[in-house]
Every structure is written in structure tokens, then in C-alpha cells.
Amino acid sequence: MSQYEDDMKFYDQIVYKLLSESIWSGPIVGTRIFPVVIEQDVEMPAIAFTYEVVPVNTKRVYNRMEDVIYNFYCFHNDYEGCMRVTQSIRDTLDRNGQYAGATGYTTQQWSLVGIDHATYDKDRNLFMIPVIIKAQVQREFNI
């Protein structure tokens, strides 16, 4: 497995672990946390997520810090439930401190970037609210 694949695996696994084991989001969504796509037959509520990795600008000096911008998409069949899923992500991750989830990586800090407005798909009777969270990740190794 390449270093890039290891990085992507870590970024997926840390979110799954933190949200599924959280006292706030775990009881609400359980293990229904998916990278990118949720299958149509999945029971609601559920969370889908994507992310973008942005190296921290160091002015030509090698830095092992990266900002990972997570886009979470909270799904539920009713608006209040969707808001509970959104708040559970915020309660779990916002201002979360260090987490060493895999050899060679440590998250330094998680912070809420924003919560967007809700959308409703009447054909599927489904509400969706996007949440953006930034995590700062420290690598313990050189690529």
C-alpha cells in the first residue's frame, strides 16, 4: 500500500471511529457512517462524508502538518432528527483535542468551520444538512 493510500485510510478510519464510538453520535447513527456515498436501502439517520487534504503553508520549509477539511452530510427523515445528527457531529468533533489513531498520525485539533442550510428531497422524504469541520493532522514521518 502506498503512503497516499495509508493517508486516505487513516482519514476515513479516524472519522468512523470517533463518530461511531461517541456518546453523542454513536447512539444516533451507530455504524451508518459512509465515505462519499450512502446506499439507497440504508436505514436513516446516516452520515456521508468527503474530505480534502491541504498542506499547511510553511514558506519552503518541510512541514508535517496538514489541514483536513471534512464535509459531513447528515441525513434523516425529519428535520429535528437531522438537526440532532448535525449537533452530534459538532459535539463529537468540534474542539476535540489530540487523537493518535494510527501509527504515524496525530490529530492536533478539530474545529467547526460551518453548518449550511437544510435541504429536503420530497421524493425520498429525506432532509440533509452539511457540516464542515477542519482537523489539523501531524505526521510523524516523512514521505
* Full 3-state SS string of 56-120: CCCCCCCCCEEEEEEEEEEEECCHHHHHHHHHHHHHHHCCCCCEEEECCEEEEEEEEEEECCCEE
Question: So what CATH class is 3-139?
Answer: alpha beta
The model carries a pTM of 0.85
Calculate what percentage of the chain has a pLDDT beyond 70. 81
Answer whether 72's CB lies under 8 Å from 29's CB: no
Per-residue pLDDT tens for 97-134? 655 555 567 777 888 999 999 999 999 999 999 999 99
State the average pLDDT for the chain: 84
Q: How much is the pLDDT for 9?
A: 74
Cα 140 from Cα 104, distance rounded (Å): 5
8 or 79: which leads in pLDDT:
79
pLDDT, average across residues 60-84: 88
The domain locations on the chain are 3-139
